[in-house]
Chains A and B, each alone.
Chain A
């Protein structure tokens, strides 16, 4: 057992010196003990520092005892801090008074970065691929979490060195965007940094990396790799059973060997039944709904074997019926979000009782009012009342009398889901049309109680809107943590499947930009393409989602009138704004820029950045107005407008706007982007990776890319780029190496030689795995790793700040994962 202490996560106070990334001060000039690729080997020196594990190790003498309740931890003196006395004495002093603080600002070295990345890779390698094992994470609360997800693993390590934290954050953000690849990210990054160890960091390396990406990598993909792609979407080379192959390969990386096939089949069935009209893969619209609402669309039962998992039609609401009246056949359901029994005195109000008769009459009136509502429901053939609030006993009583079943205390998410899949809005019984008919009721085919384990739930067969047929996935497993693992994996699978519809476009060259713009583009340069793909989906499935075209037009008109209003415009040039509007630039980029800007140490730098991009500073009153626009309307184009104008607002407000914008752009991208981005010049010719492109799983992508990078790098004259190409090509091999690490029969060398020989002779590749993986995710992974490495190698100085921990975390949200 090894403590992750000292250099990768050691106690902040105890081993502060060890945090210095140079590694000089920690152990008297020695490099950190945990270096190299296998940090957790049994002969590692840190291994001897055995920490107590459970109680059994505390009493090694026989007989060992299982049933020890752990002793309560020693309590700190009340009000005292858990800090060493020396620290406590000078906790409030400025940072520069500490010698340690000086030592904490240091230059990162490529060698140090490589060691950190290698240690991270060692920590996640065991969980990689179909033969990897899972990790049991024990939370401070004692809760056990089973996972093979790279993101959870990295989070659980609670890393200390800032650069390692940055690596983990990059891996996690890649995982969040594509649903896959956190472990592979770390491995590839480790391989890359290992290769770049000897290279001189600086502008030259950065330029070479960028040149490699633009010239070698894209060429390798476009001219070499593309020929090997298969497609799971209907088209030229449609793969039969592609969805199951994709899911099985994906789940193979995050579930145990006994469960993945079963769950892949179950997930396929679930997709098929939720979207029966779709061809091979559910439509993106359905996938997005599944991914977003999966928490409510599944239910878990502990104590049963995984085999008992199944798909049920309709929705399972995890509440018991407050009143259940059996009803056969079609029925209608009504959603309410307020108490149906009118209150005697409203909050803050006062009810004055002037006579006993009046009091009795009021109570009788209230009872009659409640009864009237129920009568109306009964007349409207409503058999089910869904309520987000707890209803009074009287309401339940009348519901029972009138044959209406009631489910109350629904969560906000469940209410939102019901609204979304049925298209109803909550019913207000005491509105204007108290006499009117109940128009907004959801149709359902059945409504019955369902016993899930020992919990009684309401099972409602909503018919659903459009293409989506609501179904519920019942996940069974021996323990809750298994079910959680399965649910997380399936949710990730839905995110991954959404990437199926994305394409990567070709760009010939990155234009040289100024240094400040580079910074911004490096942070997020793969986002634009992501947003772009989102848009493709929207175009495919856009049927009046949220922002319709006419709505957009109306908003445009509105903004245009604002622009021509001379009183408000101030110094702004109307013509320019109009062009901005008609060619909306990339919202993600702006949002990112804004947040990056505010993430910086000083707020002044943040304000300057948008200015540097040549935008006109606008008046304060105007930006206030546009702020309110953002608040009132969730319109994308006005939001962009607002974000542009917001440059004069204070930094924190700006961040909010930016975040809003980011959200908006994630959910709704209403119109096709023009390539008018100022900071990223991209010339699109044809798509590099088409939607639905897949490759067989098991290292084929890496081997192929390795081969073609080598091949195209040979044609290249520039020595720096050739060097980078070789490094990347070798780093790519580290992934299949890790995948084949634990096998007995087919070793990596055999596989590699076979594949390369086949490629040289132009023969089909030897296939021994059935699973498929998405090329889009893989390609994005390589790009993200390249960017992360570039960013890491561009860091000039790491400065430790002696501030409360809280404050530091607020400042660099990049590390906050």
Chain B
């Protein structure tokens, strides 16, 4: 008889959005995220109160990953942002803040949620059409023939994460390294289906950030001292080094037993037979003029010795993660059987050498075609290194996304304010037929559009963490930050020098207004303009694909949450 347990009734919550608990939790979450946003964001110190791992960060991926939220509705929100991060790496905070802000703004509207959702969907389609059109005033196209825009893009990613505590020379150095590493991964000869190579990050802790470097090819860590002496490597006639890559264990252990049994007669040593086979393999490798043998698993010491005597370098315990890039880089096929060696499996290398960094020794495999590179990333301590690694991966991913779609959006809050002013202007000039199609009134549409624009602007506002004012101009629709202490200045042009992204300077009278705390924003005449001439050298740029996806995901998630009319929680 099974044990009887009293089954708890499910918790039935109707209209979850009207509950106080949700609004409190939501505003708290949005407060935490807003305070992290941007280059001046405040750091968060995550710990579990018991000891062990401590994380100092302002990155959404780290914060959301470690935060556990109990409210089911917020769990949906966080899951959605985390999914976005796992696809795009960047713009996680943007997505999360926008989503919270949209929910808060739409909730207060007192319009039926299905109408709000339809209108906001329409607004989103306006935004996306604008962002994808040529006329878009807040995007710049990325020119891959010059590094300038790419450097701006990488630099923006690095500076927007303040937890690394990088100073300017360090940022410059890392920006160059990341871009260099990315360039290595682009294949030289491009076919129809080009696949980017891989940049492997090698951790070196306890060194300065400026000691970081990028090397073409692969680094395999090794502990053996024998490799410290100068290498004499056998080369083939075309001065290449032949490499054999083994994925099978060469330890001479017995064949992995199957379900049946194997009976061995007395006096027969299968291990000997295995070792003999291994030595045969070694003989064949030498005959085939192989210069380097890399094994994913362990190589038997006897075989190692034998190969060493014949001037073949052996590297074992390479690990599974290195197998794919190594196979790609050298053109070799991992050999899975020690009983048949096909000459077609071998690959080739340009050179092999030994590198030493901070008490670690590496075998450096230098390929002919560099689609694989290694980034030796240094930082002072463990926590800072983790943060730095996340940033480098983000920057790498941003570059990969940008090469697919060579566009970038203006950063520093300018895209948000620009889009908001575009939408404001557009929502006033919409024809009556579109309202009929959405099944709403003009007033409803404008209320929702206003909420949408305020949410976008609130993301721009959360870039500012001091008590300074935030302005927007009526001409370009960009975002301008006033340093704190100048709140009662009559003429704004005296205190601002350039806009958030740095593309516009304070050259003309742009008719500024305060971004926040104002009823009835004046509508700009015509669409916001595209800046004609660039003011600063270093623009703040955001990844186009990531930000577009963030905008869509934030709105869809907000709609999803607004659409909830019940929460039924099983409490067993």
Contacts and interface: CB of A to CB of B under 8 A. Distances in A.
Nearest to B195: A449
Nearest to A805: B4
A611 interface: no
A359 B271 CA distance: 11
Contacts of A516: none
A396 B334 CA distance: 10
B247 A57 contact: no
Interface stretch (A66-74, A430-438, A498-506, A620-628): A66-74
Interface stretch (A477-485, A635-643, A645-653): A477-485
A515 interface: no
B499 to A, nearest CB: 29
A597 to B, nearest CB: 27
Contacts of B563: 133-134, 256-257
A89 interface: no
B340 interface: yes
Contact of A136 (B68, B340, B566): B566
Interface string B242-270: 00000110000001001111111100111
A744 interface: yes
B87 interface: yes
Contacts of B262: 344-345, 350-353
B84 A478 contact: yes
Contacts of B16: 136
Contact of B549 (A137, A305, A354): A305
A66 to B, nearest CB: 5
B45 interface: no
B552 A82 contact: no
Nearest to A485: B560
A394 B260 CA distance: 19
B19 A157 contact: no
Given A348-B260, A396-B336, A401-B344, A138 B269 contact: no
Contacts, number: 297
B135 interface: no
A112 to B, nearest CB: 19
A133 B564 contact: yes
Interface stretch (A6-14, A286-294, A537-545): A6-14
Nearest to B248: A393
Given A305-B556, A355-B268, A3 B564 contact: no
Query: Chain B contact residues: over half helix, strand or loop, or mixed?
Result: mixed
B553 A347 contact: no
B568 interface: yes
Interface string B531-572: 000000000000000000100110011011001111111111
A137 B570 contact: yes
B117 interface: yes
Pick the most buried of A91, A303, A307, A363: most chain B CB atoms within 10 A of its CB: A303
B486 interface: no
B569 A66 contact: no
Interface in B447-490: none
Interface stretch (A123-131, A566-574, A602-610): A123-131
A5 interface: yes
Contacts of A363: 255, 339
A2 interface: yes
B516 interface: no
B7 interface: yes
Contacts of B67: 66-67
B334 A397 contact: yes
Contacts of A479: 76, 79-80, 83, 557, 560
A1 B11 contact: yes
Nearest to A10: B9
Contacts of A364: 339
A306 B565 contact: no
A394 B337 contact: yes
Nearest to B46: A67
Contacts of A81: 3-5
B206 interface: no
Given A133-B566, A305-B553, A804 B4 contact: yes
Nearest to B11: A51
Contact of A356 (B19, B22, B112, B268): B268
Interface string B70-93: 111111100110011111100000
Contact of B260 (A138, A347, A482): A347
Interface stretch (B24-32, B233-241, B371-379): B24-32
A438 B247 CA distance: 30
A304 B9 contact: no
Given A132-B565, A138-B569, A4 B340 contact: no
A64 B556 contact: no
A55 interface: yes
B559 A57 contact: no
A619 B346 CA distance: 74
Contacts of A134: 560, 563-566
Nearest to B66: A67
A66 B32 contact: yes
Contacts of B268: 353-356, 359
A343 B79 CA distance: 45
B567 A257 contact: no
* Contact count band on A: 35 or more
Contact of B6 (A83, A144, A360): A83
B146 interface: no
B83 A64 contact: no
B339 A257 contact: no
B70 A4 contact: no
Contacts of A160: 9
A799 interface: no
Contacts of A144: 72, 75-76, 79
Contact of B71 (A3, A54, A397): A54
A356 B342 CA distance: 24
Contacts of A359: 268, 270, 273
B568 A64 contact: no
B442 to A, nearest CB: 14
Interface string A384-401: 000000000110110011
A797 interface: no
A570 to B, nearest CB: 42
Contacts of B260: 343-351
Contacts of A123: 12, 566
Given A305-B553, A477-B556, A804-B4, A157 B568 contact: yes
Interface in B12-50: 12-14, 16, 19, 21-22, 24-25, 28-29, 32
Contacts of A3: 9, 11-12
B401 to A, nearest CB: 13
A133 B344 contact: no
A806 interface: yes
A153 B568 contact: yes
A40 B12 contact: yes
Given A56-B25, A356-B268, A367-B339, A306 B556 contact: yes
Contacts of B68: 67-69
B21 A57 contact: yes
A129 B10 CA distance: 24
A453 interface: yes
Contact of B12 (A56, A157, A396): A157
Interface string B88-130: 1000000000000000000000001110011011000000000
A624 B118 CA distance: 63
Nearest to B553: A478
A138 B568 contact: yes
11 contacts: A4-B10, A54-B71, A66-B29, A66-B32, A66-B69, A136-B73, A144-B76, A146-B76, A305-B549, A344-B258, A353-B268
Interface of A: 1-5, 9-14, 40, 51, 53-57, 63-70, 81-83, 91, 123, 126-127, 130-140, 144, 146, 153, 156-158, 160, 256-258, 302-307, 343-356, 359-360, 363-364, 367, 371, 393-394, 396-397, 400-401, 453-454, 477-482, 742, 744, 804-806
| Interchain residue pairs A-B with the least CB separation, the first 9 | A133-B565, A345-B260, A303-B83, A397-B336, A305-B552, A347-B259, A393-B336, A478-B80, A135-B566
